[in-house]
Amino acid sequence: MADPTCALAAPDAFDTATREAVYRTILTRRDTRGDFLPDPVAPERLSRVLLAAHHAPSVGFMQPWDFLLLRDPGTRRQVHDLFAKANAEAALMFEAERRETYRGLKLEGILEAPLNICVTCDRGRAGPVVIGRTHIPMMDLFSSVCAVQNLWLAARAEGLGVGWVSILDNAALAAALGLPKGVVPVAYLCLGHVRGFHRRPELEAAGWRRRLPIIDHVHHDRWGNAGADMHLAERLDTDQAAIETGRFLVERLD
């Protein structure tokens, strides 16, 4: 007998209000660093966020992720020490003027956030041969990143901030957290309530990088072919401009 839960759902698009909520979540998601509040995250909110992450797509349905919740101050101080060492090393990789700007950036909230989460990938979870990973071995890592994105968007919908701390020595982090062989850190996240969300990404506001024009990065059939779809090019240009000026959710969901 067929499983009724596997029946196809109707392909109808969501109503406008629901679509607006989805796009608002995506467009207002930010990498949070120094704006965390000390208030703990309620279990019901954390449960929803973790389940959203657990429902990410994964190659071969291997679900390679685990979520290590870190509240202990001592462990987090140890991770912060790892960050400080890696951050000092990273600063030296930039040229002089850029180096000083880099040193002035707030790049983590390890000690400020009430909760840290390390998302890991168990590279052997589904055995040596996994559907969809036979020719691209990194697909399990990519799957874990999908879980990170789901977590991040769900957190934003819950009014919670997330900051990804990527300036870490992964091997040292794995040792500090006691990860078993074959399990690798994918993302070290800081999560919690925040004072607010920045209107623009902090690195963009600081002049470090700007949002690239999407029309320069859409190719048709072959790399470098801008194509002749002028209607799409015009729409992409006007939609991106609407996002930049805050008009997208009001005017462009048609």
Specify if 8 maps to a domain.
no
pLDDT at residue 221 is higher than 60: yes
Range 22-50 average pLDDT: 96
CATH of the domain at 156: 3.40.109.10
Count: domains in the chain = 2
Residues 227, 136 share a domain: no
Range 145-172 average pLDDT: 98
In sequence order, the 6+-apart residues with CB closer than 8 A to the CB of 129 are none
Specify if 188 maps to a domain.
yes
- Which domain covers residue 221, as residue numbers? 211-254
| Residue percentage of the chain with pLDDT more than 90 | 85
The Cα angle at residue 76 between residues 153 and 170, in degrees rounded to 5 = 75
Residues 226, 132 share a domain: no
- Looking at residue 11, what is its pLDDT? 80
Range 35-47 average pLDDT: 97
What are the structure tokens assigned to 19, written together? 């679509």
Residues 123, 62 share a domain: yes
pLDDT at residue 40 is higher than 90: yes
Residues 220, 137 share a domain: no
- Looking at residue 2, what is its pLDDT? 59
